[in-house]
Amino acid sequence: MKTFNIGELSEKSGMASHAIRFYEREKLMPEPARTESNYRRYPEDAIARLQFIIHAKQWGFTLDEIRELLMLQDANGDRAEAKRIAREQLEKIREQIRSLSRIETVLSKTLKECSGEGPMDGCPIVEAIGREK
């Protein structure tokens, strides 16, 4: 079985070495085998696992949620749990979209109202940001 040192794994996965070590400490990556000189040696499937972590982070999953999904995958767990986690993430994303849409509406309106000239006092952009909740 082919194995990689941390530098090779970093290059192949697109993740920095210090991030790989962080995910090991966070128990998202299994403890790698060690050489007699105590160097880490990673199996080929570590690349796919790191890419899963990268994608899950891009999708907005927290480290705890990623850990839970990986534990389910490792144990061939229940799909219902994965679906629950994904459903909760989708609701968070939808709320972020609603929030960003409100912000976009207010910002667009205040940009039209602001002349872009004169003193800051009474600037509709600054006032709108101060009111935003």
Look at the pTM and tell me if it is higher than 0.85. no
Q: What is the pLDDT of residue 128?
A: 87
Q: What is the pLDDT of residues 95-128, one digit of tens each?
A: 999 999 999 999 999 999 988 888 888 888 888 8
Q: Whats the size of the chain, residue-wise?
A: 133
Which among 118, 65, 112 has a CA at the least distance from the CA of 88?
A: 65
Position 132 scores a pLDDT of 64
Give the pLDDT of residue 101: 96
**All structural domains of the chain with their residue ranges:** 1-61, 94-133
The alpha-helical segments, DSSP class H, found in the chain are 6-13, 17-25, 45-58, 63-74, 79-113, 124-131
Determine the average pLDDT of the residues in 59-81: 95
Structure tokens at 4: 């990689």
CATH number of 1-61: 1.10.1660.10
Q: Is the pLDDT reported for residue 129 higher than 90?
A: no
Average pLDDT for 77-102: 96
Contact call for residues 17 and 56 (beta carbons, < 8 A)? no
Q: In the prediction, which pLDDT does 29 show?
A: 95
